Amino acid sequence: MGYKNANCVLPENLIVAIQQHIDGEYLYIPRKDENKRAWGERKDSRQPYIQRNADIFAEYKCGMTVENLANKYFLSPKTIYKILSTMKNNN
């Protein structure tokens, strides 16, 4: 997300109207619903986590303990439990 100067992209009458509500502060304008993307969709950063979680689940099913999984993947046991719960519900 980048910042743009409102003076460069909005008509003056709209800037005046906005200033009546919020003057000199940052304002977040959300995307339109049809332009929203899911987390990781833009750069495929989601795929490595999907594979990691599948590996964690497979290793757990083969007998690896939560503590060992947490140490191996540098995650907390609580996070491992969340991953296992999600994977169980998806399978």
Q: Look over the chain and give the mean of its residue pLDDT values, rounded to a whole number.
A: 91
pLDDT in tens, 48-87: 999 999 999 999 999 999 999 999 999 999 999 999 999 9
CA distance 84 to 54: 9
pLDDT in tens, 7-45: 999 999 999 999 999 998 988 888 898 888 777 667 777
Contact by Cβ (8 Å): 66, 80: yes
Contact by Cβ (8 Å): 89, 53: no
